[in-house]
Amino acid sequence: MNAREISEQNERLILCDKAMLSSETAGRRFPEAESDLRTCYQRDRDRIIHCKAFRRLKHKTQVFLSPESDHYRTRLTHTLEVAQIARTIARALRLNEDLTEAIALGHDLGHTPFGHAGERALQELTSTGFTHYEQSVRVCERLEKNGRGLNLTAEVLDGILHHTRGEEAHTLEGRIVRTADRVAYINHDIDDAVRAGVIAESDIPRDIAAALGDTKSRRINTLVEAIVKNSDNTIKMDSETEKYYDRLHEFLFESVYKNPIAKSEETKVSGIVEGLIKYFLKNPEKMPEEYLKIAAEEGAERAVTDYIAGMTDHYAVTVFSNIYIPKAWSI
């Protein structure tokens, strides 16, 4: 018995009857020989961590556009925090931690530069529309490895696609990631807003702080414990905790997401994205070669959308500046 088979046997012995076992995966789009060392979900996790799209997340906005301080979250640190919370929940519920981690690490691979402002711009400015969760799946299936994709398992792709809204993932592990994403972003967005001076911890209504906790760590612990205690055939909090979570989200939305101090620069995002779309639709040959192949097979707009969605904040600004901003004359 090799290392992978021992891991699969341990899953059958340790995990609960609702867990998704790696030995029972629906498989990959393109069949592959099994690894002697790693289960299929461990391999998916590793493929995601080593892909280019994952590395680019370190330079993509979470909430505050291109923050200068070292301590604000980026899309990468958000992803890592989601993975940590999701793994804690999965382990406590005796669900498949490897599958949960793979979904969590891959859930935002398709996110745009400039956070949700960039996503909204692509939604509004392209004829086919755009969502980051569908783009995350496209990154995994079509864009990585020079068009070959990562060839992930069906369960990981399903969890990535359904991590944010609409239909739930088919596995409980995928549903954990959806919930962990909510727990992570509401708390670290508050933390970043406090660091930026946009709000203070004392601004959070007292009854919410009393119910959920008066610090980031206490709130996360309260929410995670509520999820573990109340999850069975689905992943959920108790109604009382959910009520206070919803109120905290409303507070965050009004105090941070709609705050003109925090969001003043977002008004410029649409102009940058629109300028890039117009330029590359008119000059598709200026895109990297991998996107020229997509343009030939799926149309120029699809290729331009993929190219812009994959940009980091800094790279998008640099490309825009090189196209539209005059350079100083030098002799």
Q: What's the confidence (pLDDT) of residue 331?
A: 65
Q: What's the confidence (pLDDT) of residue 100?
A: 98
Closest CA to 109 of 131, 82, 136, 145: 136
Which CATH code is given to the segment(s) 40-264? Answer: 1.10.3210.10
Q: What's the confidence (pLDDT) of residue 13?
A: 98
Three-class SS state of 313: helix
Q: What's the confidence (pLDDT) of residue 258?
A: 83
Q: What is the band of 33 on the pLDDT scale with cuts at 50, 70, 90?
A: very high
For residues 294-311, one letter each, b for 16 or more C-beta atoms within 10 angstroms of the residue's C-beta and e for the rest, the string is: bbeeeebbbbbbbbbbbb
Average pLDDT over residues 278-282: 97
Closest CA to 17 of 99, 114, 96: 96
Domain ranges of the chain: 40-264, 268-324
3-state helix, strand and coil shares in percent for the chain, rounded to the nearest 5: 65, 0, 35
Residue 135's alpha-carbon distances to 138, 199, 204, 313, in angstroms, are: 5, 33, 34, 17
pLDDT digits (tens, 9 = 90+) for 56-65: 999 998 877 6
pLDDT digits (tens, 9 = 90+) for 296-312: 999 999 999 999 999 99
Average pLDDT over residues 226-239: 96
Average pLDDT over residues 248-270: 86
Enumerate residues 6+ apart whose C-beta is below 8 A from 117.
61, 65, 263, 266, 269, 270
pLDDT at 224 over 70: yes
pLDDT at 262 over 70: no
Bridge partners of 61? 74
d(CA 138, CA 61): 20
Q: What is the band of 166 on the pLDDT scale with cuts at 50, 70, 90?
A: confident
Q: What's the confidence (pLDDT) of residue 303?
A: 97
What's the mean per-residue pLDDT of the chain? Answer: 94
Q: What's the confidence (pLDDT) of residue 157?
A: 98
Inter-helix orientation angle 300-309/269-282, to 10°: 140
Determine the number of helices (DSSP H) and then strands (DSSP E) in the chain: 17, 0
Q: What's the confidence (pLDDT) of residue 66?
A: 64
pLDDT at 149 over 70: yes
Q: What's the confidence (pLDDT) of residue 246?
A: 97
DSSP character string of 185-230 = HHHHHHHHHHHTTS--GGGS-HHHHHHH-SSHHHHHHHHHHHHHHH
Which of 39-53, 188-202, 278-292, 301-315 has the lowest average pLDDT?
188-202
Which of 149-163, 191-205, 273-287 has the lowest average pLDDT?
191-205
Q: Where are the alpha helices (DSSP H) in 111-199?
A: 115-125, 132-138, 154-161, 172-195
Enumerate residues 6+ apart whose C-beta is below 8 A from 176.
86, 89, 90, 93, 95, 100, 235
Return the H-helix or E-strand segment holding 162: none
Range among 94-98, 125-129, 322-326 rated most confident? 94-98
Residue 54's alpha-carbon distances to 45, 80, 233, 289, 303, in angstroms, are: 11, 11, 31, 21, 20
Q: What is the band of 67 on the pLDDT scale with cuts at 50, 70, 90?
A: low
Bridge partners of 153? 28
pLDDT digits (tens, 9 = 90+) for 170-219: 999 999 999 999 999 999 999 999 998 899 999 999 999 999 999 999 99
Residue with more model confidence, 67 or 297: 297
Percent of the chain residues topping a pLDDT of 70: 98
Q: What's the confidence (pLDDT) of residue 63?
A: 78
This prediction's pTM: 0.96
d(CA 132, CA 116): 9
Contact (CB, 8 A) for 155 and 39: no
Residue 1 burial class via C-beta count within 10 angstroms: exposed 0-12, middle 13-18, buried 19 and up:
exposed
Written as six digits, the tokens of 245 are 């979570």
